[in-house]
């Protein structure tokens, strides 16, 4: 069975050839770094992913966490893997030196993360959430809160969670009903039921630090009345030792189709009216605190999706290269040897589609990390502002479109394995099940689409959208004179015009007819937008490949030719879809809007 | 939780309004029947499906069959359901009166089957395979074989299986290696290992009758050297009583992502050189026997897919109607009551897409059953011939395209339920997992596409294809003058021309450049073909709805309006995809063909 789940060659291509990540070391904040330090830590990530994360990913999927005597039991390999990750410093690597970090660029921590994510996403999730919660405490916590909680989290002694959803409030956070009652002792008493809390209960760490959205008494209704609270599972004493349980009860585990090794919990806060929470950030600004991390959280979902796609792609590729089945068309001699699956053009189609989707979204994920780094550390204020805007705009695409494309890739991986593909003895069906969560969690794809068309493309008078257009036009200008790229450059130029005109039409229609008519078709707008963005990332990769080909040895030349062919695939088989999509959009097609409930 | 998994209203619409099934009773073979007898048996099917099949479908999925002390243990509700089905006569209903059947048209047995299939496909599979095996014995078996095996199978005392695949021979049946050695006693000794044998072992029936593809000594290599054998799990004595075990060993159960309640087995035949098989049909014609049933088997896979889609659609519809979440766009008052999910246009889009895919493929499935009945019983020889040809041509679409569209429908059902959608407490993720098998088993979709473009469209000098064109043109002619339908009629007229021209181009290119260049893109041809066929079936439904609207009461009018809106959806959102698909095809796009193994 193949043990390849990630490609170092492609990682290097995106990191150094396409994005020139080492250039980030020119920024003051990253100046201690070099390609050598980057490589060293990526080596460690690859090694731990291979040795500690990958080997148990099938067993964990088959052996879901269960509750025994009130405790959550998880196979021991999970804790071993998580401890190895924490010991190697991956929880704090991106933090400042003052916090014990090594100020690693986000793009390099991503280059580490992809190994774990492809190797075993269900195990990684425990630390992904811990990092997210720690980041939040770092930005909004008081000094005391940081000392008490952040330190142990960065060491991997405490884990963290994000606690938003309630049974009656999923996409509609305005309806969160958990309450927080002030006391004279500085803490609040939290009361309410939460659901879908990933990593909400386990025995993997000394403590679990929940970040809980709740409503202060007399707070305004809706999302403007939500505050954020630190709610430790065990209280932490002044001296930092673990104290009493904090009245957070596990009401049950949720059994999911994928990410089965990641506990998903129902939690009851304050069943005995003794659940202590500590306000973090300002009152009624809880959602703003959460959303401060939302771009990053959504990028992480997108990357999680990409890596499920990646692992499935590499597995099915290995299978196709080693499984003899059938003979070429025209060979009617049944005594002749069977050829490998990869020899059949339709199998190559399924592999090429996977490559196009997986490496396209992979490049987008790394581009977004590069934007994050520049937003944070560029010496040029204008660059920081622009990178921030681009990131805002692209976040729905990174999250939603990556999830959709790579789920399709996972479908193809199963198809290549045939009957074996849908058995649980092979990993591809697990990747597919895992990936099916990604179009939903961290904001369902339909919500992302509303965000994109309803807010992002028009925000700051279209500044972010215009920036993206400029960036794409820049790539077009650079490639339009280059023979092998010219055809794609002119194709994307046309596609960009279609996107611009469609967007303008929709924004005008929003003014003329109100938002409902326009936003009813937001999902197909997001698809169209996604196609243009991924095509652009493919053109950038092709541009990089052409450059690389100039001095390439044979092995590298082979790699670059694959890039060009995958680019060709995306431009020929996918980008043309935007034509019918733009027609539906520009017609303000009312089919879905006018559908009546009773007609179903 | 919703207990609706099928719509009787829509069934009646397709059966009596669109297809006029009662007209079949004019054929001599069905002359004892009437709408009343049809309705009576469909009532029984609905009742047994609701009472015996549906209630345990979630439990069966969660409690997979296991091997204990060499025996397969399955929850007892399965046998209860299967016995009720057999007792009601559904195993033999379609057979002739001589065989104890009631000569029910295939379209009516399908109208029964859809209830079981939507209620609990994993349980139904045991009898689906038994019926298929029984049909084969009826056609090819000797009188003695029929007496010995067919009788008990129709009573539900013996179950049946189809045994083709081997570990090294999946899509490539030419490489089947199981052998059959003649003896002096009339039987053959079977030896070989088989895999993915659905229902290959269980304790649900007195006996299991395996129909096994194997190779006689000195048989030609390839598919022309395969013979078919009856291999009972237990030998049957002259007096019909059960004798010794027949050296068929269970080597293991396969654990699948879906259809988890249907055992999928590895079977070793003749481990002790004492596995007796009985030749059925002529030597070396085994595959022809199997393929005699293949159209029907593939229709059954297509219908299985449709019903997974159907059950998911109705579940998510009920959920959307009863789950309050969020507020309409523009309502910024968080104190106002939440509205039901179905009020959001993007949710209606996801429901309408499901309706369009599920009811479109449902109509196609019933149309194919109508073709089967006419092929078998029409008094007009020309009609019989034409219906046979149409069925041959459409089989890949019924199987492959139904599976793809309805899997997409299942995706949308999950999306509507949000986080709940991917939990195993709700059925929609199970439907999705079940359905993921359908693009693979009974001939992977890529194989179907090769069959369609490589053989079916050109067979008999394009006779079948030309017939389909004529049928579609007939519907166009009937609707082109009808105001609400005219737009769609002219759209499909154009689409049909595109399909005709593309097909002609491809067949010419096959002659000019050989088959590989053309068949490399067979899959996208199948998609394009599928879109035209489903659009046609939608136009037929819309035509029927317009007719119905003339005299409809309010409830029926509501139903017909839904049909028109779903038709509008398919024509606006799906059919236009054929434009870019035909461009890829007519360009003979070589992207996949030219991709090199090393470039991946």
Query: Tokens 């598919």, residue?
Result: B223
Inform me whether the C-beta atom of residue A260 falls under 8 Å from chain B C-beta atoms: no
The Cβ of residue A9 has, within 10 Å, a number of other Cβ atoms equal to 10
* Contacts of A303 by beta carbon, 8 Å cutoff, 6+ apart: A110, A113, A114, A117, A365, A402
Distance, CA of A288 to CA of B177 (rounded, Å): 66
CA distance A254 to B273: 50
Per the CB < 8 Å rule, is B598 touching A444?
Answer: no
Put simply, the answer to whether A258 touches B422 (Cβ < 8 Å) is: yes
* Contact status of B195 with chain A (Cβ, < 8 Å): yes
- Whether the CB of A531 is below 8 Å from some CB of chain B: the reply is no
B558 touches chain A (CB under 8 A): yes
**Chain A residues near residue B597 by CB distance under 8 angstroms:** 321, 342-343, 348
Q: What is the reported pLDDT for B502?
A: 98
Task: Give yes or no for a contact between A130 and A159, defined as CB atoms under 8 angstroms apart.
Answer: yes
- For A:264-323, CB contacts with B below 8 A are 264, 317, 321
Rounded to 10 deg, the angle between the A483-513 and A522-549 helix axes is 160
Q: Which residues does residue B236 pair with via DSSP β-bridges, in sequence order?
A: B242
C-beta of residue A132 within 8 angstroms of C-beta of residue A293? yes
pLDDT in the model for residue B297: 85
How far apart, in Å, are the Cα atoms of A454 and each of A498, A518, B326, B385, B410? 19, 9, 16, 56, 27
Structure letter (DSSP) for residue B225:
G
Which of the residues A171, A219, A599 would you substitute to probe the B interface, choosing the one with the greatest number of B C-beta atoms within 10 Å? A599
Percent of chain B with pLDDT strictly greater than 90:
95
- The mean per-residue pLDDT over the stretch B26-52 comes to 97
Quote the CA–CA distance of B113 and B304 in Å, as a whole number.
9
What average pLDDT does range B563-572 have in this prediction?
A: 98
CA nearest to B346 within chain A:
A520
Nearest to A595 among B352, B419, B516 (CB): B352
Residues of chain A found within 8 Å of residue B173, distances taken between Cβ atoms:
none
How many Å apart are CA B562 and CA A595, to the nearest integer?
8
Cβ-nearest to A338 among B172, B516, B521: B172
A238 Cβ under 8 Å from any chain B Cβ? no
- Note which residues in 146-175 of chain A have CB less than 8 A from chain B: 165, 168, 170-172, 174-175
Q: Which B residues in the span 339-358 are in contact with A, Cβ-Cβ below 8 Å?
A: 342-343, 345-352, 355
Check if B513 contacts A (Cβ < 8 Å).
no
pLDDT at residue number B226:
97
Distance from CA of B228 to the nearest CA of A (A): 19
Query: Strand pairing of A276-280 and B66-68?
Result: unpaired
Q: Do A599 and B429 touch (CB under 8 A)?
A: no
CA dist B20 and A247 (Å) reads 65
CB contact under 8 Å between A576 and B573, yes or no, is no
pLDDT tens digit sequence for B104-119 = 999 999 999 999 999 9
Measured between alpha carbons, how far is B362 from B308 in angstroms, rounded to an integer?
A: 11
Judge whether A513 is closer than 8 Å to chain B, CB to CB.
no
Distance CA A316, CA A6 (A): 13
Find the residue in B nearest to A433 (Cα).
Answer: B433
The DSSP secondary-structure symbol of B459 reads H
- What is the tens place of the pLDDT at every residue in B353-378? 999 999 999 999 999 999 999 999 99
- Confidence check: pLDDT of B483 > 90: no
Which of A386, A404, A442, A527 is catalytic? The answer is: A442
Q: Is B554 on the interface with A (CB under 8 A)?
A: no
Are B327 and A172 in contact (CB < 8 Å)?
yes
Catalytic residue among B166, B201, B442, B527: B442
Give phi and psi for A321, each to the nearest 5: -80, -20
Residues of B in contact with A573 (CB under 8 A): 524, 584, 589, 591
Which residues in chain A show pLDDT less than 70? none
Contact assignment for A415 to B523 by CB distance below 8 Å: no
B576 touches A: beta carbon within 8 Å: yes
pLDDT value of residue A294? 78
Partners of B445 on chain A (C-beta within 8 Å) are 415
State the SS3 of B97-140. HHHCCCCCCHHHHHHHHHHHHHHCHHHHHHHHHHHHHHHHHHHH
Mean pLDDT computed over B408-436: 97
Please state, in angstroms and rounded to a whole number, the distance separating the CA atoms of residues B156 and A135: 64
pLDDT number for residue A497: 98
CA distance A514 to A508: 9
Chain A residues within 8 A of B422 when measuring between CB atoms: 256-258, 436-437, 440
Residue A330: its pLDDT value, please? 82
Contact A419 B441 (CB under 8 A): yes
Given this model, what pLDDT does residue A202 score? 97
Which residues, in sequence order, are CB contacts of B379 under 8 Å at separation 6+? B27, B28
CB-CB under 8 Å, A172 with B345: no
Task: Please answer yes or no on whether A519 and B579 come within 8 Å at the CB atom.
Answer: no
SS3 content of chain A, % helix, strand, coil (to 5): 60, 10, 25
Distance from the Cα of B146 to chain A's closest Cα (Å) equals 32
| Dihedral angle of Cα B277, B280, B284, B289, to the nearest 10 degrees | -130
Q: How far is CA A149 from CA A206, A240, A282, B591, in A?
A: 12, 9, 18, 54
Q: Region B299-308: what's the mean pLDDT?
A: 96
Q: Of B60, B56, B59, give the one whose Cα is nearest residue B48.
A: B56
Under an 8 A CB cutoff, do A561 and B429 touch? no
Q: What is the pLDDT of residue B330?
A: 82
- How far apart, in whole angstroms, are the C-alpha atoms of residue A551 and residue B114? 62
pLDDT for residue B563: 98
Q: Tell me which chain A residues have a C-beta less than 8 angstroms from the C-beta of B266.
A: none
Give the relative orientation of helices B445-454 and A345-377 as an angle to the nearest 10 degrees.
130
Chain mean position to CA B579? 28
Instruction: State whether residue B266 is helix, strand or coil.
Output: strand
Determine the pLDDT at residue B1. 76
| Least reliable range by pLDDT among A54-63, B17-26, B165-174, B190-199 | B165-174
The CA-CA-CA angle for residues B286, B291, B296, to 5°, reads 140
Verify whether residue B442 is a known catalytic residue: yes
Distance from CA of B148 to the nearest CA of A (A): 33
What does pTM read for this prediction? 0.97
User: In the prediction, which pLDDT does B332 show?
Assistant: 82
Give pLDDT, residue B2. 86
CB-based contact B191:B270 (threshold 8 Å): yes
Q: Do residues B168 and B176 make contact, with C-beta atoms less than 8 angstroms apart?
A: no
Residue numbers in B near A421 (CB within 8 A): 440
Q: Pick the residue of A591, A593, A596, A598 with the most B CBs within 10 A to test the interface with B by mutation.
A: A591
8 Å CB contact of A170 and B418: yes
Q: Specify the DSSP element, H or E, that contains B59.
A: helix B57-62
Strands A226-232 and A276-280: antiparallel
416-435 in A: which are within 8 Å (CB) of B?
Answer: 418-419, 421-425, 429, 432-433
**B51: alpha, beta or left? (left if phi > 0; alpha if psi -120 to 50):** alpha
Closest CA to A366 of A442, A443, A299, A314: A299
Nearest-Cα distance to chain A for B327, in Å, is: 8
Q: How many CB pairs under 8 A join A and B?
A: 270
User: For residue range B508-523, what is the model confidence (pLDDT) as tens digits?
Assistant: 999 999 999 999 999 9
Q: Could A591 and B565 be called an inter-chain contact, meaning their C-beta atoms sit closer than 8 Å?
A: yes
């Amino acid at each position: 069975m193949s043990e390849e789940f990630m490609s170092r060659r492609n990682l290097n291509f995106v990191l150094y050839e396409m994005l020139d990540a080492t250039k980030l070391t020119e920024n003051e904040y990253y100046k201690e770094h070099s390609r050598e330090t980057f490589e060293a830590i990526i080596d460690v990530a690859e090694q731990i992913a291979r040795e500690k994360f990958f080997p148990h990913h099938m067993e964990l999927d088959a052996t879901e966490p269960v509750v025994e005597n009130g405790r959550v039991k998880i196979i021991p390999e999970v804790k071993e893997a998580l401890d190895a990750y924490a010991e190697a410093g991956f929880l704090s690597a991106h933090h400042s030196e003052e916090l014990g970090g090594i100020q690693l660029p986000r793009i390099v921590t991503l280059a580490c993360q992809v190994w774990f994510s492809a190797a075993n996403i269900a195990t990684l999730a425990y630390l992904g959430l811990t990092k997210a919660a720690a980041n939040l405490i770092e930005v909004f916590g008081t000094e005391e809160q940081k000392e008490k909680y952040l330190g142990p989290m960065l060491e991997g002694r405490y884990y963290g969670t994000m606690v938003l959803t309630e049974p009656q409030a999923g996409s509609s956070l305005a309806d969160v009903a958990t309450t927080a009652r002030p006391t004279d002792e500085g803490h609040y008493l939290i009361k309410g039921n939460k659901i879908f809390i990933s990593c909400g209960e386990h025995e993997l760490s000394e403590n679990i630090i929940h970040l809980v959205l709740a409503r202060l008494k007399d707070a305004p209704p809706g999302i403007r009345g939500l505050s954020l609270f630190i709610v430790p599972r065990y209280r932490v004493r002044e001296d930092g030792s673990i104290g009493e349980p904090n009245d957070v009860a596990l009401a049950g585990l949720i059994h999911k189709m994928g990410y089965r090794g990641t506990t998903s919990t129902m939690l009851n806060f304050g069943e005995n009216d003794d659940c202590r929470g500590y306000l973090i950030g300002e009152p009624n600004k809880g959602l703003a605190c959460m959303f401060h991390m939302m771009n990053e959280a959504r990028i992480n979902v997108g990357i999680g999706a990409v890596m499920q796609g990646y692992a499935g792609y590499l597995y099915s590729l290995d299978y196709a290269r080693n499984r003899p089945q059938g003979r070429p068309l025209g060979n009617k001699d049944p005594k002749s040897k069977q050829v490998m699956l990869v020899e059949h053009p339709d199998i190559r189609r399924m592999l090429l589609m996977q490559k196009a989707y997986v490496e396209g979204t992979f490049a987008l994920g790394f581009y977004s990390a590069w934007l994050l780094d520049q937003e944070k550390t560029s010496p040029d204020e204008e660059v920081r502002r622009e990178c921030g805007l681009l990131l805002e705009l692209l976040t729905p695409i990174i999250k939603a479109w990556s999830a959709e494309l790579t789920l399709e890739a996972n479908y193809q991986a199963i198809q290549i394995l045939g009957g074996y593909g849908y058995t649980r003895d092979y990993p591809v069906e697990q990747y597919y099940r895992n990936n099916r969560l990604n179009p939903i969690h961290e904001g369902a794809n339909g919500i992302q689409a509303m965000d994109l068309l309803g807010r992002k493309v028009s925000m700051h008078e279209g500044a972010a959208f215009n920036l993206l257009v400029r960036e794409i036009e820049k790539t077009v200008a650079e490639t339009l004179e280059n023979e092998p790229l010219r055809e794609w450059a002119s194709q994307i130029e046309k596609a960009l015009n279609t996107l611009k005109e469609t967007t303008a039409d929709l924004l005008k229609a929003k003014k003329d007819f109100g938002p409902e008519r326009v936003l009813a078709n937001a999902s197909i707008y997001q698809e169209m937008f996604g196609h243009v963005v991924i095509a652009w990332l493919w053109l950038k990769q092709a541009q990089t490949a052409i450059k690389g080909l100039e001095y390439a040895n044979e092995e590298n030349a082979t790699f670059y030719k694959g890039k060009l062919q995958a680019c060709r695939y995306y431009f020929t088989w996918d980008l043309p879809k935007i034509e019918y999509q733009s027609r539906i959009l520009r017609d303000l097609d009312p089919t879905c809007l006018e559908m009546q409930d009773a007609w179903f």
